[in-house]
């Protein structure tokens, strides 16, 4: 059963992010979010390239905290590899959907499903997980203070040399749209990333260089950065569907970590190691 603590959900409105509004949107769209990663070749690429990073850096049997787990697509993947996973998310409906869907043979590996915020994990003991996933919160928390709080909470609950996997929405698409609209002020604003809105909730768009700076500031050493759709983000969905999945994923693997293309995507991810003295 999903455990709920309202203090964890609403947060302090002075933080900058309306976390209650984000919870409401994902409560309404929990099933859509689960299905999103199957919607098109581009969406499937996001899942495949993310799951490959997890397979490389998360050992079978590891204890994993999935913060912002949503309906649990990545938690389910890791449970299938023998990991033990605790899930927390702002959206109670997303967590209920996970609990209703998870196969009984995987359910024994679920440590907990608890509604809560990435910026406050005080209910968890320090140094209690091998891996923390932040594959959603950092592209909703609009203030640097909030993102730092989420990263420092991840740092705190990780064991020494533990790994955090973070996902972001790139500012690239917004930059292209601003150039197309001739909006010089928006182009200037997006050079440093910044907030946008989607479905009535706040999102934060950024660049790989800025993401790695924030990780370093929070006490992490970045090991890998890769974009999750790459050049697929430049193509319309009908064009993409003409491609064979595996052949297309093979092309993306060859380009998704080219330094010059890291931000030319919709989403990108970083893998970082917890430094001992931070």
Q: What is the DSSP string of 50-64?
A: HHHHHHHHS-TT-EE
d(CA 85, CA 61): 10
Per cent of the chain over pLDDT 90 is 71
**Helix, strand, or coil (residue 243):** coil
d(CA 120, CA 230): 32
pLDDT at 170: 95
Whether residue 190 is predicted with pLDDT greater than 80 in this model: the reply is: yes
255 or 74: which carries more pLDDT confidence?
A: 74
Tokens 């309202």 belong to 6
d(CA 109, CA 72): 13
131 or 192: which carries more pLDDT confidence?
A: 131
Whether residue 200 is predicted with pLDDT greater than 80 in this model: the reply is: yes
pLDDT at 121: 97
Whether residue 124 is predicted with pLDDT greater than 70 in this model: the reply is: yes
Whether residue 224 is predicted with pLDDT greater than 50 in this model: the reply is: yes
CB 131, CB 246: distance < 8 Å: no
pLDDT at 106: 96
State both tokens at 18.
């309306």
Contacts of 15 (CB under 8 A, 6+ apart): 119, 143, 145, 146
Find the angle CA(208)-CA(169)-CA(158) to the nearest 5 degrees: 70
Interval 14-69: pLDDT, tens: 458 999 999 999 999 999 988 988 878 888 889 999 999 999 999 999 999 999 99
Helices (H), 14-91: 19-28, 30-36, 41-57, 73-79
Interval 134-152: pLDDT, tens: 999 999 999 999 999 999 9
Q: Average of pLDDT values for 79-97?
A: 97
78 or 177: which carries more pLDDT confidence?
A: 78
Confidence of residue 2 (pLDDT cuts 50, 70, 90): low
36-72 core/surface letters (b: 16 or more CB in 10 A; e: else)? bbeebbbbbbbbbbbbebbeebbeeebbbbbbbbbbb
**Helix, strand, or coil (residue 176):** helix
Please give the model's pTM, rounded to 2 decimal places: 0.91
Average pLDDT of the chain?
A: 90
Q: Average of pLDDT values for 107-130?
A: 97
pLDDT at 268: 96
Strands (E), the chain: 63-67, 84-89, 110-115, 129-134, 158-170, 194-198, 201-206, 220-227, 267-274
pLDDT at 13: 38
Torsions phi, psi of 134, nearest 5? -125, 70
d(CA 278, CA 260): 30
Confidence of residue 207 (pLDDT cuts 50, 70, 90): very high
d(CA 113, CA 111): 7
pLDDT at 232: 75
Whether residue 4 is predicted with pLDDT greater than 70 in this model: the reply is: no
**Helix, strand, or coil (residue 140):** coil
Interval 245-266: pLDDT, tens: 888 888 889 889 999 999 999 9
């Amino acid at each position: 059963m999903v455990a709920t603590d309202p203090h964890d959900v609403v947060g302090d409105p002075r933080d900058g992010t309306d976390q209650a509004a984000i919870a409401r949107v994902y409560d309404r769209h929990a099933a859509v979010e689960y299905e999103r990663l199957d919607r098109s070749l581009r969406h499937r690429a996001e899942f495949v390239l993310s799951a490959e990073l997890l397979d490389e850096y998360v050992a079978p049997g590891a204890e994993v905290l999935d913060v912002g787990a949503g309906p649990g697509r990545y938690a389910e993947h890791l449970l299938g590899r023998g990991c033990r996973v605790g899930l927390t998310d702002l959206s109670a409906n997303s967590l209920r959907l996970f609990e209703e869907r998870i196969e009984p043979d995987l359910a024994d590996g679920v440590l907990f499903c608890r509604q809560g915020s990435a910026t406050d994990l005080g209910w968890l003991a320090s140094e209690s997980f091998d891996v923390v996933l932040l594959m959603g919160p950092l592209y909703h928390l609009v203030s640097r203070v909030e993102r730092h709080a989420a990263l420092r909470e991840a740092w705190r609950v990780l064991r020494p040399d533990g790994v955090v996997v973070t996902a972001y929405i790139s500012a690239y698409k917004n930059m292209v749209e601003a150039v197309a609209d001739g909006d010089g002020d928006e182009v200037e604003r997006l050079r440093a990333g910044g907030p946008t809105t989607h479905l009535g909730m706040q999102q934060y768009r950024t660049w790989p260089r800025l993401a790695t700076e924030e990780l370093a500031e929070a006490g992490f050493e970045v090991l890998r950065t890769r974009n999750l759709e790459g050049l697929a983000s430049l193509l319309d969905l009908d064009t993409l569907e003409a491609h064979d999945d595996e052949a297309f994923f093979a092309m993306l693997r060859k380009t998704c970590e080219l330094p010059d293309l890291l931000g030319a995507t919709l989403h990108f991810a970083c893998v970082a190691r917890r430094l001992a003295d931070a």
